[in-house]
Amino acid sequence: MSHFFTTAEDRYNLWVKEHYRFLMRSAWALSGSKALAEDIVQDVYFLAWKHRNQLRDKALARAWLFRIMRRCLIRHAEPKTVELDDGQEEHVDQPFSSDHGERMDFVRALGRLAPIHREVLVLHYFDDMGTAMIAEALDIAPGTVMSRLSRARDALKHAMSPADSPKVGSTGATSVAQLVINNDAR
């Protein structure tokens, strides 16, 4: 198929495909629920298509999509019960509720953080966004991004206190947690 004769919808579908993993990863990390993340991403795509003319700079697509996702997440965050894949219920207003295990992994620690801290950590460490792009995505100043990152790291240290820290060899999440907590430069 020649790229000279593609429709606007074909181009949009290709563009959406490029950002799917980013949106799912972010929505899942911020909501704590795969099912809720799937609903949110579907809403993001619908709204992005509906308002596609509002994106002026294609280089800012991820930031624009993230802003849409944040609004969808807020809309979906009203307390309600969601059916999980294995038939268990999960309360969305407590998305990372502790299981009956002895230790808490990095994702559960992330869930203990305030949403503004979770957002900057997810965007910076999981989605590899720089300060300027995070500022654009969150519609805040770059200095505020740096401040939130610093506070988020401190909050994560507290959430992963020695009693809650994953044991050595438990999961790959430990390396990500250590990167965030130790504020290692990229």
What confidence tens digit (pLDDT) does each residue in 70-81 have? 889 888 875 444
Considering the domain 99-186 in this protein, what is its CATH number? 1.10.10.10
Q: What is the mean pLDDT of the chain?
A: 74
pLDDT single digits (tens) 16-44: 889 999 999 889 888 888 899 999 999 99
Q: Please give the DSSP secondary-structure letter assigned to residue 57.
A: -
Kindly report the length of the chain: 186
List the chain domain ranges: 1-95, 99-186
Cα distance between residue 68 and residue 22, in whole Å: 13
One of 1.10.645.10, 3.40.630.10, 1.10.1740.10, 2.70.98.30 is the CATH number of 1-95, namely 1.10.1740.10
Give the strand pairing for 89-91 and 81-83: antiparallel
pLDDT in tens, 83-102: 434 444 333 333 433 333 32
What is the DSSP code (8-state) at residue 90? E
pLDDT classification of 168: cutoffs 50, 70, 90:
very low
